[in-house]
Amino acid sequence: MRFHFSPKTPLLSLSSSSFTSLCLRPFLPSAPKSPFYPSLACHVSTGGNLRMDSTSPDPSSSSSVSVDSVADGLKSQSLREHDISNNNNMNNENKKNNGKLSLEDLNWDHSFVRELPGDPRSDSIPRQVFHACYTKVLPSAEVENPKLVAWSDSVADLLDLDPKEFERPDFPLKFSGASPLAGAVPYAQCYGGHQFGTWAGQLGDGRAITLGEIMNSKLERWELQLKGAGKTPYSRFADGLAVLRSSIREFLCSEAMHFLGIPTTRALCLVNTGKFVTRDIGNPKDEPGAVVCRVSQSFLRFGSFQIHASRGGEDLGIVRSLADYAIRHHFPHIENMSKSESLSFSTGDNDQSAVDLTSNKYAAWTVEIAERTASLVARWQGVGFTHGVLNTDNMSILGLTIDYGPFGFLDAFDPSYTPNVTDLPGRRYCFANQPDIGLWNIAQFASTLMTANLISDQEANYAMERYGTKFMDDYQAILSQKLGLQKYNKQLVNKLLSNLAVDKVDYTNFFRALSNIKADPSIPGDELLVPLKAILLDIGKERKEAWTSWVQSYIQELVASGLSDEERKASMNSVNPKYVLRNYLCQSAIDAAEMGDFEEVRRLLKVMERPYDEQPGMEKYARLPPAWAYRPGVCMLSCSS
């Protein structure tokens, strides 16, 4: 198969069901028979056509060697070795309370607006913005007695911000955008993207306004961004505002994902504006407005590069400038690579040509982005998380989970699950398809860099190969850890996933309970399922036999591993959370907050900050969803903004 690509059209014109995970494919209703990516090597041929051949790189060849071993050492180098502007010098005399700062004393830097081309206009009139990475624009959301709904002490610590600042009477005014924050230089970013597989042109920050970058005492760079702060040139026909409902979901999930150990953007605080916003999710309704302050080391996305490549001409130079900026500030170890690292890999092609990552920093950068993305998606799969809008404008170059619109954690295990009502007809972004969509998006990003002449077709192909290898390596390691096994057992995992799908077993609670299985082959057959009796509900004789057979095979693997039951249980419970942010938990907190009671939002945040702990007294947050949560659209509707 051959697929023509350009930044304006999908690089891989594949339906969501035609390129699916090896492990989950058998459980989709109409899944094709061909296996997941490592068995389908993607190659970009000379002339700009992507082909997919039924060949696979030899896992024992040098092409399967990761750059991790060298890059990890380089990443550990302090940013103090990296050249930063004099504006980043820490003002120690302004520190107070053990090094914590007031809002006025935060150490601002504005590298993005200082080093990249900007829009000469600063109005918020919706329009096409050319030859620019951003538009300076002020927050404009109206407020009336705004209130602080919730906050994250953990994120405040990242910024060296004194947590007592949350108690300031003017804090809600500043973080709703109604009152200027000293030192901020607000702007909205310009980007494009593929939405549901189709090039959508210019998108951009339609309701998110970045305030600037904070440099903390470790010289880490953190961007602060207000989502729901008003119109920008990228708002198109929207009002630039956000409602409390969707803002609570974004705030809570940003923090919940972090404490699960999954790379993500963070959230400093959530403010209720005191004004109402009209939304139509079946019928027009006035809802409480809100602004969430998102925090990330960068909000650059695949689409940040795509928009400029799609326009061609002089804008191709912006792609290079943007790539240089990203490498300089967020991948400095790549800038420091030299020929002595000998990062040269065979691509597996017939001509035995090689990719030398030290000769082209953009190639090394692309490979790292591909691997970070693969690792991220593997971690999502491990906790049963589904990103409902996995468009290229929602793909972070840092490998972070970004833009929490429709999302969901699996309750009953269903590989075809999607949290996005818009995605229901084709289920492009369903749980089982996420690994393949990640690769599809990497292909779009690679084609963008090829268009700007930053990488070759061979280098693009190698990045995609690395995505496949990295995903499978990480996914298998994660599943092995969840099962408490020393090595991956494909047959055991496939049979487990099949059983989970057939009986619609709760994904989170099953793996948590699994640690109670004893590595004792002498346990009578009729007692094997006792540790899982609260999980395996309403199954008949035939299904009990299927599960008993699986548990017997599982116990054999446990015995072979040699770990004690206590040691294995502790290990498994450290990777199998007891608490995840189920949709019905969000909805309960939203219902209370819309009535003016924010305590449930704050309580839920505290529970999600310790997802792997037992937390006596909080057991209700680990329960299965109540009957009302299964009504069509109940939790999906809360995802809309």
User: Region 590-596: what's the mean pLDDT?
Assistant: 97
Beta-bridge mates of residue 322 = none
Instruction: Give the amino acid at 434.
Output: Q
Q: How far is residue 199's CA from residue 343's CA, in Å, rounded to a whole number?
A: 34
Exposed, middle or buried: residue 25 (CB in 10 Å: 0-12, 13-18, 19+)?
buried
Q: How far is residue 641's CA from residue 639's CA, in Å, rounded to a whole number?
A: 6
**What pLDDT is recorded for position 85?**
37
If you count them, how many residues does the chain have?
641
Q: What is the pLDDT of residues 198-248, one digit of tens each?
A: 999 999 999 999 999 999 999 999 999 999 999 999 999 999 999 999 999
Residue of 109, 119, 393, 473 marked catalytic: 393
* Confidence class for position 635, pLDDT limits 50, 70, 90: low
Q: Which residues touch 39 (CB under 8 Å, ≥6 apart)?
A: 22, 54, 56
Please report the DSSP string for 121-140 in residue order.
----------S-SEEE----
Q: Phi, psi (5° rounding) for residue 485?
A: -105, 155
Give the lowest-confidence range in 46-60, 286-300, 413-427: 46-60
* Confidence class for position 628, pLDDT limits 50, 70, 90: confident
**What pLDDT is recorded for position 183?**
96
User: Region 491-495: what's the mean pLDDT?
Assistant: 98
Q: Name the helix (H) or strand (E) containing 444.
A: helix 434-451
> Does the pLDDT at position 194 exceed 80?
yes
Beta-bridge mates of residue 96 = 100
**What pLDDT is recorded for position 337?**
80
User: Region 32-59: what's the mean pLDDT?
Assistant: 31
* Confidence class for position 19, pLDDT limits 50, 70, 90: very low
Instruction: Give the amino acid at 219.
Output: L
**φ/ψ bin of 248: left (φ > 0), alpha (ψ from -120 to 50), beta (otherwise):** alpha
Beta-bridge mates of residue 441 = none
Domain extents for the chain?
Answer: 100-306, 486-562
User: Region 128-147: what's the mean pLDDT?
Assistant: 97
221 Cα distance to chain centroid:
19
Q: Which residues touch 33 (CB under 8 Å, ≥6 apart)?
A: none
Q: Which of 346, 345, 348 minimizes the C-alpha distance to 54?
A: 348
Which of the two residues, 17 and 95, has the higher pLDDT score? 95
On average, the pLDDT of the chain sits at 85
Cβ atoms of 364 and 334 within 8 Å: the answer is yes
> Does the pLDDT at position 144 exceed 80?
yes
Q: Is the dihedral of CA 553, 559, 561, 565 positive or negative?
A: positive
SS3 for 466? helix
Q: How many CB atoms lie within 10 A of CB 147?
A: 16
Give the lowest-confidence range in 207-211, 345-349, 491-495: 345-349
**What pLDDT is recorded for position 421?**
87
Encoding tokens for residue 416? 């075809």
Beta-bridge mates of residue 224 = 212, 295
Q: How far is residue 296's CA from residue 150's CA, in Å, rounded to a whole number?
A: 18
> Does the pLDDT at position 601 exceed 90?
yes
Q: How far is residue 510's CA from residue 535's CA, in Å, rounded to a whole number?
A: 6
**What pLDDT is recorded for position 639?**
58
**What pLDDT is recorded for position 352?**
53
Cβ atoms of 319 and 452 within 8 Å: the answer is yes
Give the lowest-confidence range in 8-17, 183-192, 252-261, 275-284: 8-17
Encoding tokens for residue 614? 């037992």
**What pLDDT is recorded for position 99?**
83
Which of the two residues, 401 and 92, has the higher pLDDT score? 401
Q: Which of 292, 219, 221 minimizes the C-alpha distance to 250?
A: 292
Which of the two residues, 283 and 469, has the higher pLDDT score? 469
Q: Which of 240, 210, 406 minimizes the C-alpha distance to 300?
A: 210
User: Region 291-298: what's the mean pLDDT?
Assistant: 98
414 is catalytic: no
Cβ atoms of 269 and 148 within 8 Å: the answer is yes
**What pLDDT is recorded for position 406?**
94
pTM for the model stands at 0.86
Give the lowest-confidence range in 79-83, 540-544, 632-636: 79-83
Q: What is the pLDDT of residues 314-327, one digit of tens each?
A: 999 999 999 999 99
User: Region 390-418: what's the mean pLDDT?
Assistant: 96
Q: Which of 252, 331, 320, 250 minimizes the C-alpha distance to 298?
A: 331
> Does the pLDDT at position 75 exceed 90?
no
Give the lowest-confidence range in 41-45, 328-332, 385-389: 41-45
Q: How far is residue 175's CA from residue 172's CA, in Å, rounded to a whole number?
A: 5
